[in-house]
Amino acid sequence: MSAPVVEIRNLEKTYGLAFVLREVQLRLLAGAGAFIIGGNGAGKSTLLRILAGLEAPSGGHALVFGQDTRRLAARYRRRIGLMAHQSFLYPNLTARENLEFYAELYSLADPRECAHQWLGRVGLAEVADTRVRAFSRGMEQRLSAARAMLAEPALLLLDEPFASLDHDGAEIVAALIRGAVERGACVLATTHGIPEIDGVELAVFEISRGRLMQHAHKEEGRRGGRIRSLLGR
Amino acid sequence: MSGFAAVLRKDLRLELRSGESTLALLALSMLVLVVLVFALGAARVRSVDAAAGALWVAMVFAGMLGANRALLAERDNGAIRGLLLSPLDPSTLYAAKLCAAFIFMAVAEVGAVILMVLFFNLDFDASMARLAPILVLGAIGFSALATLLSAITGRTRGGDMLLPILVVPIFVPALIAGVKASAAALSGAPFESMGDWLKIMIAFDVLFVTAGYLLFEHVVGGD
């Protein structure tokens, strides 16, 4: 049995006296796709930031590729792609320059060609030389998806990847997620509702009052009547 | 090395595109020098001591402005998190940021020296070349200190206000040495007479470049 990509044991996170996450357990293998649902402030984004090593847990253990996320070495960080609320993009650089910059940071073979390919994949080839500050929120979100997936990470952490996207944009990001799962990446995404992604079996978890619970199947969440497909299908 | 070059190239590209830091540094240098020329009066305007002091006051004010901007671009859209998540070593990030801050400050210094010569009625002669190593050492030390501290203050509320409070007192030894060495250079004193002042500046640079390189990963953060 292969080692889990993500393993969380008794994870806790507090801000002051307030518990955001408590006794969180999670185990995901390579090629797994999972969505975490929950309301605003439920702790979804915090969990992703902890897994990315950008925030330290208050208790318990978060392991990625078997490594504690508090001390992720460069060779493990390079295998993680994070798409967060903030795009991590430079407004005064063009879309192409942003992707080339990140491609260089990840020492990818041909940053220019890589940026060109990804701009095509997210449907932004025509605005490749436009500065990001002129982008709409949806265009920035697509570019942010390309930035997160540029180095083809083995672990993809997506914080509300469909937010601000129109139907076409959502289709593009859904296709990228499907592609990532198909090539064996582990994908963990947060959202307010469960999206449908053709051909991908998604595990669904819910965070409520800081605790993570697994739905038996995504249909269970949909039958509950509380969750609406973000893709509108 | 590619990460260092990528960050430095990106910072220079952003600066060339906006010119915000360099123009602000030059404008502030000019303002400080003009105010000091009028404050000191005609009697002291040809004094090299006054000129050296005015030059360093302009440099410190301008450097502070540049330091505040050093990590500002990285806070936009949370780009600092993208950098911290990347395989880039935090100390390499520090080195690139220090290098960029040094370049911006060096450009501002060239402008400030020209303005100082004009406002203080000095002559463009060999003494100006003797200023170069002093200003380079000063810019390295200030950039090293300010880049390190701006990583801390950038995470705090009101960090813009906090940075000068932290930087100036720590920079005082190098500032005094820089003013004294600059005055000696402008008055045409032999190079040996500046030796002790230059040693202080070199020691300051070594201390804070090393401290920044070692500590940056502990002070820079996503928030």
Dump pLDDT digits (tens) for A169-184: 999 999 999 999 999 9
DSSP-derived secondary structure for chain A: -PPPSEEEEEEEEEETTEEEEEEEEEEE-TT-EEEEE--TTSSHHHHHHHHTTSS--SEEEEEETTEEGGG--HHHHTTEEEE-SS----TTSBHHHHHHHHHHHTT-S-HHHHHHHHHHHTT-GGGTTSBGGGS-HHHHHHHHHHHHHTT--SEEEEESTTTT--HHHHHHHHHHHHHHHHTT-EEEEEESSPPP-TT--EEEEEEETTEEEE-SSHHHHHHTTS---TT--
pLDDT at B194: 86
């595109």: which residue's tokens?
B17
Contact residues, A window 173-192, toward B, CB-based 8 Å cutoff: none
B5, B77, B84 ranked by CB distance to A54: nearest = B84
- Rounded to an integer, the average pLDDT of A148-168 is 92
**Could you tell me if A7 lies within 8 Å of chain B, comparing CB atoms?**
no
User: By a Cβ cutoff of 8 Å, what residues of chain B touch chain A?
Assistant: 2-3, 5-7, 10, 13-14, 17-18, 73, 76-79, 81-89, 222
- Rounded to an integer, the average pLDDT of A40-44 is 86
Supply the ipTM of this predicted assembly.
0.84
Q: Which amino acid is at A204?
A: V
- Rounded to an integer, the average pLDDT of B125-131 is 82
Interface test with B, best of A64, A88, A129 (most B CBs within 10 A): A88
- Rounded to an integer, the average pLDDT of B105-117 is 87
- Rounded to an integer, the average pLDDT of B28-43 is 80
Dump pLDDT digits (tens) for A5-25: 999 999 999 988 888 899 899
pLDDT at B111: 87
Binary contact (A90, B84; C-beta < 8 A): no
**Could you tell me if A153 lies within 8 Å of chain B, comparing CB atoms?**
no
DSSP class of A94 = B
Write out chain B residues lying below 8 Å of A106, CB-based: 86-87
Residue A177 corresponds to which tokens in the numbers above?
């997620």
Domain boundaries of chain B, sorted by first residue: 2-220
Dump pLDDT digits (tens) for A102-131: 999 999 999 999 999 999 999 999 999 999
**Could you tell me if A74 lies within 8 Å of chain B, comparing CB atoms?**
yes
Q: Give the distance from residue B12's alpha carbon to the nearest chain A alpha carbon, in angstroms.
A: 11
pLDDT at B68: 73
CB atoms within 10 A of CB A15: 9
pLDDT at B44: 63
Chain A residue with CA closest to B10: the answer is: A101
**C-alpha B169: how far from chain center:** 15
Global pTM exceeds 0.90: no
pLDDT band at B200 (very low <50, low <70, confident <90, very high): very high
Half-sphere exposure in the Cβ direction for B187 (13 Å, CA): 15
pLDDT band at A196 (very low <50, low <70, confident <90, very high): low
Residue A168 corresponds to which tokens in the numbers above?
């076409």
Higher pLDDT, B162 or A232: B162
Higher pLDDT, B45 or B185: B185
